[in-house]
Amino acid sequence: MTHSDMLRVMRCCVRQPSGSAAVFPKAACEILGQDYQIEQKQAVVGASIGIALVSDEKAAPEDTVRKADMALYQAKADGRATFRFFEPALDEQVRRRQELRAGLRTALDRGELDLHFQPLVRIQTGEVRCFEALLRWQPPSGGAISPAEFIPAAEETGLIMRIGEWALRTACVEAAHWPPFIRVAVNLSPVQFRSPDLLQMVAGTLAAASLAPGRLELEITESVLLQDDQASLAILQELRRLGVRIALDDFGTGFSSLGYLLRFPFDKIKIDRSFVSGLPDRRESTAIIRAVVSMSQSLGISVTAEGVETAEQLDALRRLGCDDAQGYLYSQPLPAAELTTLIEGPQYRSGHSKV
């Protein structure tokens, strides 16, 4: 913050003598968030602020700084360029995160991680075309922990590299036992994209499992494209050259725009559950899915709807021209040993029930 910025923030605080502790950080975030002209270049900076209020004069300074740091972490997690006050609940969240990180360190070696598989079904014919591999963590000390909770912890600690590699290897070995017309889909974290060894790791895993590259589908989210765009696109092209298929997962969340579909020739788009849950009644959901299907069809990209739970949603998706569906209506994610009837048995011919 330059001297003149500081003065602007101070003036702003004086002009609003509400006494609220939020006035200063709010003004600081707003002023620092404005664009700066540095010589000929326009610079965009932002500030995230964590605040701990001290009511007890005897409070230890280190403790106050630790609390402000937790609040700062929260401000960053809430999208940055904002401020947060320390609250006691943050203490509990941090403790939980530390517990997760410590547990994850040994989870893989102790065999606490497992993969479940959920079918992706062709809507028109009821055939199972692919299974998505989804991580499960069952610590000995308590109930199962959702990947939505432990994947971020694995990403923060870098453990996602080992865990992701294990998931890919296990999924490919499993898929090698399935009929050749069924693919396996594996989720890739944006953190794995920062590794220079990703390509080699994928190629080596496919070879070791004797799985044809065309039977592997890697699911990425748009955050992969948001981080170093050109480098990520280059890695995606290389993966494509190996023969692996690339799917864009959770489409419609975050900053998703149809523009992404033009940046890379994805093989598949997975429409996020938040849109599917609006079917058949919400006009916005219908309009968005119709637009995605129409653009994908003209680009030759297949479309899967995620989180399909009801027959009405499936009917609406069929009418909208969606190719595949995945969701509890067909099946929950299942352990590998329980896939036999889905693979060998009759398919979902009547739309969603097994015949």
At closest approach, how far in Å is the CB of 254 from Mg ion? 12
- Cα 341 to the chain's mean position, in Å? 30
Restricted to residues 216-235, the positions that interact with Mg ion (CB under 5 A) are 219
- The answer to whether residue 103 forms part of the interface with ligand C2E (CB under 6 A) is no
- Give the DSSP letter string of 291-332: HHHHHHHHHT-EEEE----SHHHHHHHHHHT--EE-STTT--
Nearest CB to Mg ion, comparing residues 139 and 307: 307
**Interactions with ligand C2E, residue window 173-232 (CB under 6 A):** 187-189, 219
Q: Please tell me the total number of residues recorded for the chain in this structure.
A: 355
Tell me whether the omega of the peptide bond preceding residue 180 falls within 30 degrees of 0, making it cis: no
Residue 328 partner contact from Mg ion, ligand C2E, none using kind-dependent CB cut-offs of 5 to 8 Å: ligand C2E
Residue 220 beta carbon to Mg ion: minimum distance, rounded to whole angstroms: 9
48 near ligand C2E (CB under 6 A)? no
Q: 3-class SS at 147?
A: helix
Comparing every residue's Cβ against ligand C2E, the nearest one is 327
* Residue 101, phi then psi, degrees to nearest 5: -60, -45
Contact flag: residue 327 with ligand C2E (CB under 6 A): yes
Closer by beta carbon to ligand C2E, 249 or else 324 = 249
The string of DSSP codes covering 224-278 is: HHHSSHHHHHHHHHHHHHHT-EEEEEEETBTT--TTHHHHS--SEEEE-HHHHTT
The smaller minimum CB distance to Mg ion, of residues 97 and 169, is found at 169
- The site for ligand C2E, by CB under 6 A, has a size of 24
Residue whose CB is less far from ligand C2E, 154 or 182? 154
* Site string (144-183) toward ligand C2E, x via CB under 6 A: --xxx--x------------x--x----------------
Backbone angles phi, psi at 316, to 5 degrees: -65, -40
Q: Which of 112, 165, 217, 250 binds ligand C2E (CB under 6 A)?
A: 250
52 vs 112 by CB, closer to ligand C2E: 112
Show the tokens assigned to 64: 């106050």
How far apart CA 300 and CA 125 sit, in angstroms, is: 19
- Which CB sits closer to Mg ion, 36 or 328? 328
Name the binder of 333 from Mg ion, ligand C2E, none, CB < 5-8 A by kind. Answer: ligand C2E
164 binds, among ligand C2E, Mg ion, none (CB under 5 to 8 A by kind): ligand C2E
**Residue 246 neighbours by CB under 8 Å, 6+ apart:** 217, 218, 220, 236, 239, 240, 264, 266, 267, 268
Please state, in angstroms and rounded to a whole number, the distance separating the CA atoms of residues 81 and 211: 45
Closest separation between CB of residue 151 and ligand C2E, Å? 5
Kindly report the backbone phi and psi dihedral angles of residue 268, in degrees, each rounded to the nearest multiple of 5, phi listed first. -150, 145
Q: Identify the DSSP state of 138.
A: -
User: By C-beta, is 83 or 150 nearer to Mg ion?
Assistant: 150
Which residue blocks in 109-181 are alpha helix, DSSP H?
A: 147-157, 160-175
Chosen residue from 118, 170, 285, 304 binding ligand C2E by CB under 6 A:
118
Residue 249 interacts with Mg ion (CB under 5 A)?
A: yes
Q: Which is nearer to ligand C2E, 70 or 239 (CB)?
A: 239
CA separation for the pair 138, 146 (Å, rounded):
9
Contact call for residue 126 and ligand C2E (CB under 6 A): no
Tokens of 193: 């994209």
Which residue number, 126 or 164, has a Cβ lying nearer to ligand C2E? 164
Find the binding residues for Mg ion in span 175-214 (CB under 5 A): 187
325 binds ligand C2E (CB under 6 A): no
Minimum distance from residue 301 beta carbon to ligand C2E (Å)? 17
What residue ranges bind Mg ion (CB under 5 A)?
A: 187, 219, 249-250, 306
